[in-house]
Amino acid sequence: MKRLAIIILCLVTAIAVFAKPPKLNVEKLFDGRFNSSKSVTISIYKSNGNYYRGITVTNNPGIIKKIADAIERDAPRASHYSDHQNSDGQYTSLQIINNGETIYIGLQRDRHGGGFFFIQGKEKAFK
C-alpha cells in the first residue's frame, strides 16, 4: 500500500513539473516597460488556441539590446537555436518546448537600431 502511494505521489509530481508555465525572460518584455516609448509598437493576439506577441522597434538600439539579452538568457532552454548575420542585419530564432508544445521566438535586427521581435505558440505552451 505504501509503495502504491509513493508511486502515485511520484506520478502527480512529474505531471505537475511538466505542466509548469515556461517563465521565459522574453515574456517579461511585455510587462508594460515599453508602453510609453514612441519608438515601440506592441501587438498581442489570441485566436483559435494560438498566442502571439510582437514588438516592433524603430531606431532604438537600447531596447533592441534588452530584447536580445532576454533571448540570450532563454537560449540555454532552447531545443533549436539559430543566429544569422548579413549586411542587412541579424536574425536570431529559437524554439522552446513547454507542455508538449513549441514556443517560437525570433528577433530581426536592422542596422539602424530597429527591429522586430515575436513570441508565438499554442496557448497550452504558456500555461
**pLDDT in the model for residue 23:** 87
Gyration radius (Cα) of the chain, Å:
18
**Rounded distance, CA 97 to CA 79, Å?**
7
0.85 surpassed by pTM: no
Phi, psi dihedral angles at 30 (to 5 degrees): -100, 25
C-alpha cell at 76: 540555454
- Residues of the chain predicted below pLDDT 50: 4-5, 9-19
Pick the CATH number of 22-126 from 1.10.3470, 3.30.160, 3.40.50, 1.20.120: 3.30.160
**pLDDT in the model for residue 88:** 86
Specify burial of residue 78 (Cβ count, 10 A radius: 0-12, 13-18, 19+). middle
| CA–centroid distance for 81 within its chain | 12
